[in-house]
Amino acid sequence: MSRRRNVQQEGLEGPPPEERKRPIGRRNSQGIRIDPEVEAEPEPRRTTISAYVENEPGVLARVSGLFHRRQFNIESLTVGPTQNEGYSRITLVVEEPDPGIDQIQKQLEKLIPVIHVRELDRNPVARELIILKVDGEEPDKVQAITDMYDGEALDAGPETVTVQITGSEEKIDDAIDAFKQFNIREIARTGQAALARGAEETARVEERHT
């Protein structure tokens, strides 16, 4: 007589052990089974982080070194002076899970020349700039594409045309695709520069000159 029949004869319902659904997931040190969905690493997301720093030698090297040591995934980094003499703004575009984004901010805040760090909202005021050098065999068509992206021709000769486009990351990506038909010879692209929208300040006033 089979095991299933024995179970039924004893008044117990359900399939025999070999047919039962087994739990999945590993156990922790206390022997408790961990749900794989809970344990799964969060999905990375792309975001912009702004750091307000004292304008002193070596600050950019310290920030770059931090990202290298911690192996954070940085997409772009720009730095430039602010309206306050002696202070600069570093804008970083990163792609990390939420725990990684939190760690980036915490680690940046530990650097001595950093005054203030914050993650900008999902839709900051942000722009990039790109300079493209393409073949000059069809200058009129190149100019038409440049105008379509509100760009500007910077240099034109018998062999090449160099243009400038400014806009969002998506606009810059689209412009690159549009200019590929003219054989792109060289590209120089900046990282993202960004500020918080509206009246909200990107860096808190009380933290600027502490």
Q: How far apart are CA 165 and CA 150, in angstroms?
A: 7
Residues 155-208: tens digit of each pLDDT: 999 999 999 999 999 999 999 999 999 999 999 999 999 999 988 888 864 444
Single pTM value for the model: 0.72
DSSP structure class, residue 44: P
Residue 22's pLDDT is 59
Pull the structure tokens for residue 99.
């725990």
> What's the Cα-to-Cα distance from 140 to each of 94, 109, 131, 176, rounded to whole Å?
38, 50, 18, 17
CATH number of 125-194: 3.30.70.1150
Average pLDDT, the chain: 85
50 vs 18, which has greater pLDDT? 50
Domain with CATH 3.30.70.1150 in the chain: 125-194
The predicted structure's pLDDT at residue 206: 47
Q: Could you tell me which CATH class the domain 45-119 is placed in?
A: alpha beta
Q: Where is average pLDDT lowest: 11-20, 129-138, 167-176, 199-208?
A: 11-20
State the CB neighbour count (10 A cutoff) for residue 53: 24
